Amino acid sequence: WACSKPVHENFMQCMSNQLKSGKNHSQIIYSSSSPQFPNLLQSSQQNPRWSNSTSVLKPLFIITPFHESQVQASVICSRRHGLQVRVRSGGHDYEGLSYLSKSPFVVIDLVDLRSVDVNIKDETAWVQSGATLGELYYAISKASKVHGFPAGICPSVGVGGHFSGGGFGTMLRKHGLAADNVLDAHVVDSNGRILERKTMSEGLFWAIRGGGGGNFGIVVSWKIKLVRVPHIVTGFTVSKTLAQGASLLVHKWQYIADKLHEDLFIRIILQNVGEGNNQKTVQASFNSLFLGGKERLVQLMKERFPELGLQARDCIEMSWIQSVLYIAGYNKDQPLEVLLDRETLYKSKFKAKSDFVNTPIPEVGFKGIWDMFSQEEVVFMIMDPFGGKMNEISEFETPFPHRKGNLYNIQYMVKWDADGVGESNKHLRWIRVLYWYMRPHVTRSPRGAYVNYRDLDLGTNNLVKKSYQEARTWGVKYFKGNFERLARVKNKVDPDNFFRNEQSIPPLPSLL
């Protein structure tokens, strides 16, 4: 008779059995009839593209564990009752893969697993996956003024998904990716076991540091190596429109940015701005963090990039934690507690894509980009320079392969607020055309992409057939030669493909 019971009853029974020694499981399981369910589901969806859609399937349950054992129970019971899981840390997945699914599923939301324990004596920290980058940076700054961590720019991004896909920000030229600075982790595998570095295979420890979230298990917490930062760092933002010579400067930047001293990170944000008379133009903002004082910075810029005309008055000296606020778009003097806000600034529907560039784009190439920008409203192209430490790490050391030879990464993004399929399609079409236009200017065979800027246009899995060959089309774009190793690790740790989604790594049996 048990078989005829609805799956949700069986699931609840299983959770109750698994958690019998712990607290009441009703405190962590929310079914779709619970009053908190809608808020909880929406709470950390950072891309509202699917919020009002009636065609998307809702999870049967949202589970908010506050202990590792509850994550284990959730995996065991979901598997036993044929439910897929979507694990969510900060909810920033560009395609919503942490809370959307086409099959019956549960969301395991790690929002209550977000402690940060900093150990300044050995310059490490244990951070749980549900913490945001802002919470991590905040906790480090409370413990030390001369330590930081090299991860992403937006404070609301979740540690769990971000570290799983690599994770980069203003210190990548000096210290590499967030994943390059991971020392240990606790992972709940597809059998519900908790593994740590000593008990997990080398392959699994390699795969979770950049192989993409949602593939190999649920990483509950990470041990990270903190990095030293100076007492004073300097930021600047110099913005130029096309009429003010932006084209030449952007073109020149490509020859310089990856070769600068590794203390200096200058990214470019391209966007449309109003020019008066209802006209718009493209503006390039050179947005920078220098790990040192302004005198040395101005000197360096005079020697290496005099065309930008940086003056001491453009430079703002501050502490490293203030620079986190500054680069994220806050005022550096705002209370640090804004870093604890879990919702992203400027939330709108969006679609993004990414590329890597290994040969400077000719000026005429940029001309075409400006033309494309003139056809849309809210668009961004963010160009993050590589070089420095990124050149020193082999492309096989972690799954993130875009190392030596890459001048910079590009992220293309289009945003909109209006509802409706027609509206969405208009913007999706625009960004796809821009991506097509960029083909001759970016890496080829394979064309590179960054897994943390997830893009389902690159290809999706056939969830029924689970074909490795099919998945290679998108897999090699994210991981190049590491894709095959990821698929072999997947076969060892999750041969039944329990952790799967539209773009998860398929298991590749050793004999193939």
Write out the catalytic residue numbers.
Answer: 453
**Residue 220 beta carbon to ligand FDA: minimum distance, rounded to whole angstroms:** 7
- Interface residues with ligand FDA (CB under 6 A)? 46, 86-94, 97-98, 110, 129, 152-154, 157-158, 160-162, 164-165, 167-169, 213-214, 218-219, 344, 452
How many C-beta atoms lie closer than 10 Å to residue 244's C-beta?
12
Contacts of 406 (CB under 8 A, 6+ apart): 258, 356, 357, 358, 386, 390, 443, 448
CB of 167 to ligand FDA, least distance (A): 5
Please identify the residue of the shown chain whose CB is closest to the bound ligand FDA: 213
- In the complex with ligand FDA, which residue's Cβ is closer, 373 or 450? 450
Minimum Å gap between C-beta 362 and ligand FDA is 28
Task: Pick the closer one to ligand FDA by CB: 10 or 354.
Answer: 354
Q: Regarding beta strands 182-188 and 194-195, do their DSSP bridges make them parallel or antiparallel, or are they unpaired?
A: antiparallel
Contacts with 88 (C-beta within 8 Å, 6 or more apart), sequence order: 44, 98, 99, 107, 108, 109, 110, 111, 158, 160
Token output for 361: 């784009």
Q: Across the beta sheet with 124-128, what order do the strands follow?
A: 116-119, 124-128, 218-225, 182-188, 194-195
Tell me how far, at minimum, the Cβ of 13 lies from ligand FDA, in Å: 26
Lookup: tokens for 501:
């989604």
DSSP code for 59:
P
Choose between 294 and 402: whose C-beta lies nearer to ligand FDA. 402
Q: How far is the CB of 447 from ligand FDA (least distance, A)?
A: 19
| CB of 159 or CB of 242, closer to ligand FDA | 159
Mark residue 214 as left, alpha or beta (left: phi above 0; alpha: psi -120 to 50; beta: remaining).
left
| Tokens found for residue 156 | 């609301």
**Minimum CB distance to ligand FDA smaller for 94 or for 373:** 94
CB 252 within 8 A of CB 307: yes
Q: Which are the contacts of 371, defined by CB distance < 8 A and separation ≥ 6?
A: none
Q: How far is the CB of 172 from ligand FDA (least distance, A)?
A: 9
User: Of the two residues 156 and 283, which places its CB atom closer to ligand FDA in the complex?
Assistant: 156
Radius of gyration over alpha carbons of the chain, in Å? Answer: 23
